[in-house]
Amino acid sequence: MVFLTTDRMNAGLLARFARRRLTPNRFDLVAFLLLGGVAVVVLHGARQMNLPISHLPNAGVTLDPSRLPEYALRSTLRMFAAITASLLFTFVVATLAAKSRKAELIILPALDILQSIPVLGFMTFTLTFFMGLFPGNELGEELASIFMVFTAQAWNMAFSFYQSLRTLPDDLQDVSRQFGLSPWQRFIRLELPFATPALVWNTMMSMSGGWFFVVASEAMAVGNNNVVVPGIGSWLALATRRSDVMAVAWAVLAMAVVILLYDQLLFRPVVAWADKFRFEQTASEDVPESWFYDLLRRTRLLRRMTAPVARLARLMPRRLLPNLAAPVPGGAVTARWIDRIWIVLVAVGVAWSALTVVRYLAANISLRDTLTVFGLGFITLARVLVLIAIATVIWVPIGVWIGLRPAWSQRIQPLAQFLAAFPVNLLYPFAVSAIVAFSLDPNIWLSPLIILGTQWYIVFNVIAGASALPNDLKEAADMFRLRSWQKWRDFILPGIFPYYVTGALTASGGSWNASVVVEVVTWGKTTLHAAGLGAFIQEATTAGNFPRVALGMTVMSIFVILLNRTLWRPLYGYAADNLRLS
Amino acid sequence: MTMVMDRPTPLVEVDSLKHVYGKSAGPGLVVLEDVNLTLNSGEIVGLLGRSGSGKSTLLRSIAGLITPTAGRVEIKDAAAGDTAQGVAMVFQTFALFPWLTVQKNVELGLEARGVHPDERRKRSLAAIDLIGLDGFENAYPKELSGGMRQRVGLARALVVQPSILLMDEPFSALDVLTAETLRTDLLDLWLEGRMPIRSILLVTHNIEEAVLMCDRILVFSSNPGRVIAEIKVELPQPRKRLDPAFRALVDDIYARMTARPKGPPAAVAAGLPGTGLGMALTHISTNELSGMIESLSNPPNNGSADLADMARELQLEADELIPLADTLQLLRFAEIDGDTVRLTAVARRYADSDVDERKQIFARQLLAYVPLAAHIRRVLDDRASHQAPASRFRDELEDFMSEPRAEETLDAIVSWGRYAEVFAFHDDEDRFSLDDPT
């Protein structure tokens, strides 16, 4: 029962976070403008490099099942490259934010906004940048593809690590200071272990989301740039173009095997291992289990494998990391001046960014376009909300039913988790061919695809919530013979609510991302359109129209941020304050 | 005093220490004011006081964990002039790293000093052995009982061979039996001179514990923390709790801790209890108040009792019992005279009443003697809507005291007002009302 524990902990972190800021503040604006400025500069710079139009039609991808294992392996490697990059990013950026107040003021809102930007929107910028960096080189395409996955993974991991660093237990901090641990020792002995459970959970969520983008990023089309790197995603793209149902089925099978292996051989062992870092002084009853981890432990393979790492860590010089928390030499006056200089620098950066963004947009976008795009945003918003509502109505009763039956939930929980990791874009071709075959209205029937992959977050969170309902309350409810509606209203729904909000929040974020893929789909020669912001972004991307991509992304980020701040986080804060069953 | 040692030499000098918590703007919370202390070799010194008397802050200043607002802390025996070198600390919460084994936890301080792994191992095993933990080297803290965990905390402090051991309520998270065992073991090690340390500074709120262990006890007043008494304990070790001299000393300390400060009250803004609206209240549950009244009115007490006896009877620590007695005194349910607490006539009537009458008596006392309660009630009565936002009173309180203190005062008034049905409070909307009129 992995989710029970990780989830509870995550809920705590998120709740603290949710209470912190509900409304956008000026630092959100600062970060927004800075990010916008950077994006414009990257675009400009890359364009000036005058990139050669890329070629490589299908770079050797063939629909030959015997090559599928190789493609699957390459997709997997890309995934791990991205997760490694995300971890490095997390350690550096989150640590900086946690230790330096100045950095924190910029990094936090920036992460928050980056989290809300539709990942596929990054495609345009990523591709342009990396192709410019390595013109005509396959490395550029690989890096672009990996970077895409990175943008889907890094932000929430960094957030989680930052949160952990800010909630280190006081007494352990005191011990570390009293014994004078060096920054490196502090990191290894205190900060990293304490942050591990939350980080593992978030990494796993990132991985699940990552598969979706690995598949999406292997065959990218931006204007005249057509990038194809060999992998399951490019296989799928080719199969779709050729309307080859058999090949799509092969891809689904390969992906299922890959995810099963990764779950059993990597993820579960890591979760079982991370359990020892849970900050609890009492032994817990339900400990996550993994047969593979037990096996490794029994063979002592793990110890032999980690021994060199431990030795390496010991060789680290004691004063390797700068002590960011240390007071500035020169006292309070110097510190105040450094603060002032920092504020001036940020202000200059913001002003310049604002100017750049405004000039860029003014030159390329009309007000009418902007209004249209906002209108499209509302269509997609309606789609996301309606589908979350439908998924809620369907899955909450089922999830509760399962959660209240331990024998069932133990079997179904891993399945839901598997389904959440499965890149649902592999299934789109089936759905599309069905819509084509029955000539249904794409505006309505493409919509369910948005929730197809993300509904599982609602399912497993509700199951976890229902199984966590305390036994004494269950017995009290039975003893007083609560009628079934009363029981739901006064006991079950409030009890699972915090879990449900976690699930719905994740599902909502994922759905916005999915809309970029889903609202325009192609099957062979047929292309189906649904009106919406996702379709707008995808079409602008395909046309290589940078200003319109930027506009679409900005509008979608605004929608996501406002939805989070006005709906999900207040719900979260309410749940954390009033409905905790502990 | 029983140590076989040369002449006592000063190890720590604390000179006019002052510490203020909170922002520089607004009234900060003065936790320590003009504290002087000399810690000599060969002695165990206890710091005793109510919660909020700043004794932990003093300990942390000596440990180098806090930089005091003003004053000087000097560690005489420091090897390299670094405050952290001569001292090691044992924490109330044990502060063990749950992901490290017992041995790794003990080695932590040595690792920080860059001691070679082999040497580290040798020294940590010796400390584990000394403290009675052998066999548990590879256990994780969560596998150990509370007592064993605190032994790890002790071994971890001793292994760095500090000259001074700082202990922050080391036994208060343990059950009575375990605490007693650990105390005795520690005293034995100390009296036999088997620990490398030269002095112990112990923060506690348990008066008996202080008398059992210490050669010298400093009693702190609260708000702000000052040393109000220094008591030398010259009873020979091992000390017996039932020894009349021991009892007399405990009673004496109770009397000193409940004594009202003499002279006119100092600046209220500094966080003194104060009078009128600026009176800081301690959030004590009405159940505890009536429990204490009942226990005092029942035989064998029959209306008055010795505080130390009460503490034993109710299984309360001094810092739990004393605020309780203070609140009874504030509401004129009791009078405190030296170490004796005596019920008033009102309290006797209260004890004999049924639930509704009790509430009425409590309401009368509350409105008569707690100005804040009367104030809130008056505001509610005056308003046509009979409602008022809590923030209004919170702001008023913060003119007199720091924010956390104002919050606790408001919590106390809410719970007392609800019990007495003097007014209602709605947590969701953070407002008071007269919804449940008496």
**B56 within 8 A of A146, measured Cβ to Cβ:** no
Q: What is the pLDDT of residue A283?
A: 53
Q: Does the CB of A48 have a partner CB in chain B at under 8 Å?
A: no
A341 token code pair: 């200089």
**A449 within 8 A of A425, measured Cβ to Cβ:** no
Q: What is the pLDDT of residue A163?
A: 83
290-329 in chain A: CB under 8 A from chain B: 314, 318
Highest averaged pLDDT of the listed ranges A209-218, A488-497, B361-370, B397-406: B361-370
Q: What is the pLDDT of residue B167?
A: 93
Least confident of A75-79, A508-512, A566-570, B23-27: B23-27
Q: Which residue has the higher pLDDT, A522 or A279?
A: A522
What sign results for the dihedral spanned by CA atoms A28, A31, A34, A38? negative
Q: Which residue has the higher pLDDT, A328 or B238?
A: B238
Question: Of the candidates A171, A180, A193, which has its C-beta nearest B93's C-beta?
Answer: A171
**A179 within 8 A of B108, measured Cβ to Cβ:** yes
Q: What is the pLDDT of residue A141?
A: 79
pLDDT band at A520; cut points 50, 70, 90 = confident
211-230 in chain B: CB under 8 A from chain A: none
What is the least distance, in Å, from the CA of B423 to any CA of chain A?
A: 23
In A, minimum Cα distance to B93 occurs at A171
Other Cβ atoms closer than 10 A to B28: 17
Q: Name every chain B residue with its beta carbon within 8 A of the beta carbon of A278.
A: 98
Query: Using CA atoms, how far apart are residues A342 and A345, in angstroms rounded to an integer?
Result: 5
- Tracing tokens 């400060």 back to the chain, one arrives at B261
CB contact under 8 A, A189 and B100: yes
User: In 3D, which of A454, A437, A426, A428 has the Cα closest to residue A510?
Assistant: A454
Percent of chain B with pLDDT over 90: 9
77-116 in chain B: CB under 8 A from chain A: 82, 84, 87-89, 91, 93-100, 108-109, 111-114
Which pLDDT tens digit goes with each residue over A401-425?
888 887 787 778 778 777 777 787 7
3-state secondary structure of A444: helix
Least confident of A311-315, B2-6, B70-74, B431-435: B2-6
Q: Which residue has the higher pLDDT, B385 or A578?
A: B385
Which pLDDT tens digit goes with each residue over B237-249?
888 888 888 888 8
Percent of chain A with pLDDT over 90: 5
CB contact under 8 A, B98 and A281: yes
Query: Using CA atoms, how far apart are residues B128 and B159, in angstroms rounded to an integer?
Result: 9
Query: Side chain identity at A59, as an amino acid letter?
Result: A
Q: What is the pLDDT of residue A315?
A: 59
Query: Would you list the DSSP string of A306-320?
Result: HHHHHHHHHHS-TT-
Q: What is the pLDDT of residue B166?
A: 92
Q: Establish, for the pair of chains A and B, how many residue pairs have beta carbons separated by less than 8 Å.
A: 72
Which pLDDT tens digit goes with each residue over A227-267?
778 888 888 888 888 888 888 888 888 888 888 888 888 87
Query: Using CA atoms, how far apart are residues A229 and A215, in angstroms rounded to an integer?
Result: 10
pLDDT band at A9; cut points 50, 70, 90 = very low
Q: What is the pLDDT of residue B272?
A: 38
Q: Is the pLDDT of residue B23 over 70?
A: no
Q: Does the CB of B3 have a partner CB in chain A at under 8 Å?
A: no
CB contact under 8 A, A178 and B84: yes
| Mean pLDDT on B196-222 | 88
Query: Using CA atoms, how far apart are residues B21 and B6, in angstroms rounded to an integer?
Result: 40
Name A448's Cβ contacts closer than 8 Å, sequence gap at least 6: A387, A431
pLDDT band at B313; cut points 50, 70, 90 = confident
Percent of chain B with pLDDT over 70: 90
Which pLDDT tens digit goes with each residue over B390-400?
888 888 888 77
**A138 within 8 A of A78, measured Cβ to Cβ:** no
Which pLDDT tens digit goes with each residue over B319-365?
788 888 888 888 889 888 878 888 888 888 898 888 888 998 999 88
Question: Of the candidates B82, B88, B95, which has its C-beta nearest A171's C-beta?
Answer: B95
Question: Of the candidates A177, A181, A185, which has its C-beta nearest B65's C-beta?
Answer: A177
Q: Is the pLDDT of residue B1 over 90?
A: no
Q: What is the pLDDT of residue B221?
A: 82
Least confident of A18-32, B47-61, B63-77, B291-305: A18-32
Q: Is the pLDDT of residue A52 over 70?
A: no
Q: What is the pLDDT of residue A467?
A: 81
Q: Is the pLDDT of residue A354 over 80?
A: no
Query: Side chain identity at A72, as an amino acid letter?
Result: A
Q: What is the pLDDT of residue A304?
A: 62
Q: Is the pLDDT of residue B152 over 90?
A: yes
CB contact under 8 A, B98 and A278: yes
Q: What is the pLDDT of residue A99?
A: 84
pLDDT band at A449; cut points 50, 70, 90 = confident
Q: Is the pLDDT of residue B55 over 70?
A: yes
Q: Is the pLDDT of residue B6 over 70?
A: no
Highest averaged pLDDT of the listed ranges A315-324, A375-384, A467-476: A375-384
What is the least distance, in Å, from the CA of B287 to any CA of chain A?
A: 23
Q: What is the pLDDT of residue A55?
A: 44
A113 token code pair: 């906004």
Question: Of the candidates A174, A277, A318, which has its C-beta nearest B91's C-beta?
Answer: A174
A550 token code pair: 């930027």
Q: What is the pLDDT of residue A392?
A: 93
B53 token code pair: 């008397």
Question: Of the candidates B63, B112, B141, which has its C-beta nearest A181's C-beta?
Answer: B112
Q: Name every chain A residue with its beta carbon within 8 A of the beta carbon of B203.
A: none
Helix (H) or strand (E) holding A547: helix A546-563
In B, minimum Cα distance to A179 occurs at B109
CB contact under 8 A, A179 and B160: yes
Q: What is the pLDDT of residue A493?
A: 86
What is the least distance, in Å, from the CA of A439 to any CA of chain B?
A: 53
Question: Of the candidates A172, A178, A189, which has its C-beta nearest B64's C-beta?
Answer: A178
What is the least distance, in Å, from the CA of B172 to any CA of chain A?
A: 15
What is the least distance, in Å, from the CA of A301 to any CA of chain B?
A: 19
Q: Does the CB of A175 have a partner CB in chain B at under 8 Å?
A: yes
| Mean pLDDT on A516-527 | 81
36-65 in chain B: CB under 8 A from chain A: 60, 63-65
Other Cβ atoms closer than 10 A to A432: 24
Residue of B92, B142, B152, B429 to mutate when probing chain A, most A C-beta within 10 A: B142
CB contact under 8 A, B142 and A172: no
Strand partners, A227: A220
Q: What is the pLDDT of residue A298?
A: 65
A473 token code pair: 């309350």
Secondary structure E strands in B29-156: 29-40, 44-49, 70-75, 87-90
Return mean pLDDT, chain B.
Answer: 83
Q: Is the pLDDT of residue A51 over 70?
A: no
Which pLDDT tens digit goes with each residue over A128-147?
777 777 776 777 778 888 88
